[in-house]
Chains A and B, each alone.
Chain A
Amino acid sequence: GENVEQHPSTLSVQEGDSAVIKCTYSDSASNYFPWYKQELGKRPQLIIDIRSNVGEKKDQRIAVTLNKTTKHFSLHITETQPEDSAVYFCAANLGGKLIFGQGTELSVKP
């Protein structure tokens, strides 16, 4: 069926280190891959997205990569800060619907 798998479920890093979250998707026709950040008690908000005609996209300390052949995409956060602590979700449009991964709880320790 249509699904998005996300790993790891929890990730703890020291401030200043890098963090990487990985996702896979099932539908080779998917062409849109957003990443959302959800702070405690808040709604999810888009932080970056990538489309299938692009292999990599950067926005300051955040970058996303996409490999259409293997159906993998990843979020990279460099120089992590305590305010990066949150739950991060990957998503993909599968069959016209926006399907989310299970989420990664990132903890950045000062």
Chain B
Amino acid sequence: NAGVTQTPKFQVLKTGQSMTLQCAQDMNHNSMYWYRQDPGMGLRLIYYSASEGTTDKGEVPNGYNVSRLNKREFSLRLESAAPSQTSVYFCASSEGPTTEAFFGQGTRLTVV
């Protein structure tokens, strides 16, 4: 039982490049989330998926897109990376919005 798995753990991009962050959970959870963590800013919600086939914008969605590929997987795509997107990205999942959220190990992304 791996929980929530994110790939990659580290990534360096050049401005303008694109990439997809992968997230998978094996707990049969309905809800999945993508957050970014910046010093002094806490965990800010980028996108949220309440169930397979649905996605919703969070607090800071600009510059990102998501895909809920199936119940297990929720990917985050940066189409044209910018230095402002340098951050640590966390994927999380939960049975629903009123139950414990389990986090992946995080992806440290640097855009130069």
Give A contacts to B, CB under 8 Å: 2, 6, 9, 31-32, 34, 43-46, 49, 51, 89, 93, 96-103
Contact = CB atoms under 8 A, between A and B. Distances in A.
A99 B98 contact: no
Given A44-B103, A49-B100, 4 more contacts: A44-B90, A93-B98, A98-B48, A102-B41
Interface string B33-76: 10100001111110010100000101100000000000000000
Counting contact residues on chain B (CB < 8 A from A), the size range is 20 to 34
Contacts of A49: 100
Interface string B70-112: 0000000000000000000010101001111101111000000
Taking chain A's interface residues, is the majority helix, strand, or loop, or is none over half, making it mixed?
strand
Contacts of A45: 103
A43 B98 contact: no
